[in-house]
Amino acid sequence: MRQLFHVTPSGWAGLATAAFGILVLPSLANSYWLSVFTSMGCFLLAIAGVAFMYARLGMVSLTQVGLMGVGGWIALRLNYAFDFPFEVNLALAATATMIFGWILALPALRMRGLYLALVTLMAAGGLEILFATFQFPNGGAGFWGVQTGSGAAFRRPWIAQSAQAYLRYVIACALLGFLCIELHRRLQPGRAWALIRRSEAAAMAAGVNVTLYKTWAFGIAGLLGGAAGALLAGSLGLLDDGTFRASESVMIFALAVVGGAHSWQGALVAALLYKVLPALLNIWGVDANLSFVIFGAGLLHAVITAPQGIAGQLLDGLRRLSPKREAKDA
Amino acid sequence: MRLARYGNWLLWALLMAAVIGVLGWGGRPQMVGLFIASGLAVGSLYALAGIGIVVLYRATGVLNFAGGAAGAAGAMTAWQLTAWGFWEPLGWLACLLVATAITLFYGRLIAPRLAWRETVVKAVATLGFALIILGAISFLWADDPRSISLPTDAIGVRLLGMRITATRLLLFAASIGIVIGIWLFLARTTIGLQMRALASDRDLAALMGIPILRVETIAWGIAGLLAGFTGLMFADLIRLEPSVITFMVIPGIAAAICGRLENLVVVLIGGLSMGVIENMLTMSTTLRGVRPIAPFVIAALVLLYYQRGQRLTFGGRD
Amino acid sequence: MLEIEDVTVRFGGVVALSAVSVRFDKPVNGIIGPNGAGKTTLMNVLSGFVRPASGRVSGDGEALLPLAPHRRAHWGLRRSFQKEEIADDLTVFENVLVQIDHSRSPARTKTAEVEAMLTLVGMAERAGKIGAALSGFERRLTDVAKCLVGQPRLVMFDEPAGGMSVDESRQLGALIRQIHGATGAQVLVIDHDVELIRTICEDTLVLDFGRRIAFGPTAEVLDDPRVKAAYLGTEEV
């Protein structure tokens, strides 16, 4: 069990990056970049969920942003309906999204991997329509809670009221998400997942309840996605249905693969590309639609030639620079 | 097994009758009829999208998410040519050509590099391609509202006391005709036979000397033509908006799932049924707002139904 | 003791197994037959990946067919596939540990058991090696160790010596013969290597075109003219 708390070099780098994000970054950024980075942090958490599922189990979910929308909706609704502190709303939103995700994925979890991609894509389309029809709660009356004009404020965490503090909060949550995944990986679920990735038949023959572990993995992805959505609601105060279109879910999956689904570095690259690249393109006056082209081409390239993504190629390059290190840490 | 299949069709017929009966209760028969008719037209779109997916998937193992995007590109090209003053039918021809060219480009140049990867990876790659096409379209054309109209839109046909647009009739007839055509093609022609062999066992087919490249190219070509036709009809009937047409693959997938990614007739019936149910939901005040999600809910329920009492079994390859 | 009664399997129009009945009660048993005879299909039925159209299977008196595949593993069924399925990003130790992960014994007991079986197969020093870095023979040995943990009752090998040198084959054969003594489990082996079967299996089942054509002590079965005819063909036209 000493293996459990062993920190790999990559792990130290991750902790260092998180420390930088929490301690240094908020004081460096102006208000525009604070909101971009906070958004990025939320999507980083969601991308972590979708990436690990693909890398560790080969499961494709094309509805992660949709699940973020579900989490955000629930957090908003709870905020206006009750007086719970933010953390309670966050926990409830994340859990409810996890259950909602299970319901969505249920038809596909016992079938071939392809069907999960299909079912989640359909779910993404369905969620897009639901969000466009019912919008997001903003303090209005009734179940859907929508009113014209802005409503009461969204209550942020007690310890994270300012923009800087909230950025720290979001990064800390993202770190927790990664740690949660890593903990799973080092224990029984991780072993079961690795065998499932290799061959579902072999996993069954080894006594692994494949459906249970696939469901568990999808549940984590849903949990992280829901939490990310709630955090986004906290950041923006209100949510817009345009943020949660089916194309966005497809995009972050594509970027998760492009960045590199196997590592936290890859998820970070993906979040950077998703949030920062369009912002940069805007500043440089380049048509934002070209980001679709770039990301799509990146996905094709990654799938064809570089399955470990940009992060994988960078890490490979680093490894080649220091020949002493064996490729032992994953 | 025969009995089970008849049982399934009986169940379907009963459910459809029940849904139409419940939703249409209290409405004038002609109004119900109109909803069913336009439901059949929309359903034809879903079915055609699904058929394109299934035919290509069976022949090449690629689940093509980019069909909608190719159709959108074709539809925008048709609009553009008409806007520049060209004779309308040239626009339609261009639509088919552009969609087929885009699909063939992927099929001949990109798909072969992924030929031995697993199905999910191949499907994910087509997603990337769809993003590229969608991005290019959005880049080339500004985000203004546009529309396409076909001459058949103005013609109305009287059927059973209802006035139905010729376009809708054409679409419905086309969907049935295309399914029959493809069925005949697969059953009666040599290339169709080769395509079925490829679909059944790719490795074995290659060993037997089936000209894989030629058969696959034809399959990609058919998929492209279907995408172009479906895109054009979608643009006419619903909306000429690139992202909307691109994501018509989603209800297409719903229809394809009904047919378990293999049975074209069930894909057709599934798509048509989805269209009808979705349209009939307009008559329900409570469910009217969410009727666009009907195809997805139906597909999910159908999938659950297919799985009842089953566990994962491994007969052969993925 | 494994009892297979009247098992029939159909894939569409093809009858892969036709009313196969056999009782295996020796420690090590073989299953042989020409290609396409149904050997792997029979093992897939035992594993739970293929549902027979009819028939019963019972192990030590307990009915196995109603159990899901992973529950058969909990019962004590073990399967070593034609291609060793060792996860590339797990260590040798972890690969073996998976087999008993579900059991509620304390971690120390599980660790001890894994180490014991790894020692038996000769992989104890390489327990920390990652799957991707193993040679084909090492993977097969890890696979065998995985089959031995957790009180197995029936261990099935599907062409275990595939792709191995003569020495490795012999080593594997010796190892297989130790299984019953070390764990009390019964062993089923499918292979084409007749020498291996002759050396390690007491009883052997011969399948051809999905039918049982011979069963009994290995030496007798291998001398049976019907078996020879199945492999080599007959003169009859």
Mean of per-residue pLDDT scores for chain A = 86
β-bridge mates for residue C3, sequence order: C23, C58
Written in H, E and C, the secondary structure of A126-157 is HHHHHHHHHCCCCCCCCCCCCCCCCCCCCCCC
pLDDT at B315 over 70: no
Of residues C28, C12, C33, the one with CA closest to residue C20: C33
- Span B24-72, pLDDT tens digits: 787 788 788 888 888 999 999 999 999 999 999 988 889 999 999 999 9
> Taking CB atoms and an 8 Å cutoff, what residues of chain C touch A211?
none
Question: How far does the CA of residue B121 sit from the closest CA of chain C (Å)?
Answer: 19
Give residue-wise pLDDT tens across range A140-192: 777 777 777 666 778 888 888 888 889 999 999 999 999 999 999 999 999 99
Write out residues in chain C with pLDDT < 70, as ranges: 232-237
Query: How do residues B120-170 score in pLDDT, each as one tens digit?
Result: 888 889 989 999 999 999 989 988 888 888 887 878 878 777 788 888 888
The token pair at B6 is 């008849």
The whole-number pLDDT of residue A3 equals: 67
Going by the DSSP 8-state scheme, the letter that residue A328 receives in this structure is T
Between chains, do B315 and C68 touch, taking CB under 8 Å as contact?
no
Q: Does B115 touch chain A (CB under 8 A)?
A: no
Check if the beta carbon of residue C140 is closer than 8 Å to that of residue C132: no
Give the number of A-C residue pairs with CB atoms closer than 8 Å. 75
% of chain A beyond a pLDDT of 70:
95
> How high is the pLDDT of residue A326?
42
Question: In this complex, do A296 and B135 lie within 8 Å of one another by their Cβ atoms?
Answer: yes
DSSP C61: T
The closest CB to that of B311, out of C11, C44, C68, belongs to: C68
How confident is the model over B182-233, as pLDDT tens digits? 988 888 888 888 888 877 777 787 788 888 888 889 999 999 999 999 999 9
- B32: amino acid identity, one letter: V
| CA pair distance B270, B50, nearest whole angstrom | 9
| C-contacting chains (≥3 CB pairs under 8 Å) | A, B
What does the mean pLDDT of chain B come to? 86
The Cα-based distances of A124 to A153, A223, C117 in angstroms read 28, 17, 48
Residue for token pair 């260590």 = C91
pLDDT of residue B318: 30
- Partner A, chain B 244-263, Cβ-Cβ below 8 Å: 247, 249-251, 253-254, 256-257
Closest residue of chain B to A211, computed from CA coordinates: B312
List chain A residues with CB under 8 Å of B144.
none
C144, C177 in Cβ contact below 8 A? no
- Please state the pTM of the whole predicted model: 0.88
Chains linked to A by 3 or more Cβ pairs within 8 Å? B, C
ipTM of the complex: 0.89
Q: Which of C81, C87, C150 sits opposite A197 (nearest CB)?
A: C87
In the DSSP assignment, the letter for residue B247 is T
pLDDT of residue B72: 95
B67 vs A112, residue with greater confidence:
B67
Q: B313 at the C interface (CB within 8 A)?
A: yes
Q: With 60 as the cut, is the pLDDT of residue B294 above it?
A: yes
pLDDT score at B312: 52
CA pair distance A223, A208, nearest whole angstrom: 23
Q: From CA C24, how far away is CA C27, in angstroms rounded?
A: 8
> Across the interface, do B127 and A119 touch by the CB < 8 Å criterion?
no
Contact between chains at B250 and A125 (C-beta distance less than 8 A): yes
Which residue in chain C has the smallest CA separation from B313?
A: C49
Tell me how far apart the alpha carbons of residues B252 and A108 are, in angstroms, rounded to a whole number: 17
Give the residue from A104, A65, A36 showing the smallest Cα distance to A225.
A65
Mutate to test the interface with C, among B201, B262, B312 (most CBs of C within 10 A): B312
Highest mean pLDDT among A19-33, B7-21, B95-109, B194-208: B95-109
Poorest-confidence range of A127-136, B133-142, B285-294, C201-210?
B285-294
- Kindly report, residue by residue over A237-287, the tens digit of the pLDDT: 889 989 999 989 998 998 998 888 888 999 999 999 898 888 787 788 877
Higher pLDDT, C131 or B7: C131
For the residues A122-143, what does the mean pLDDT come to? 86
Chain A residue nearest residue B129, CA to CA: A296
Distances (CA, A) of B170 to B40, B129, B148, C69: 11, 31, 16, 51
A317 and C CB contact within 8 Å = no
The pLDDT, as a whole number, for residue A330 is: 40
**In this structure, what are the phi and psi dihedrals at residue C32, rounded to the nearest 5 degrees?**
-130, 170
How many whole angstroms separate alpha carbon C128 and alpha carbon C150? 20
Judged by CB atoms closer than 8 Å, whether chains meet at B110 and A304 is answered as yes
> Cβ of A292 and B253 within 8 Å?
no
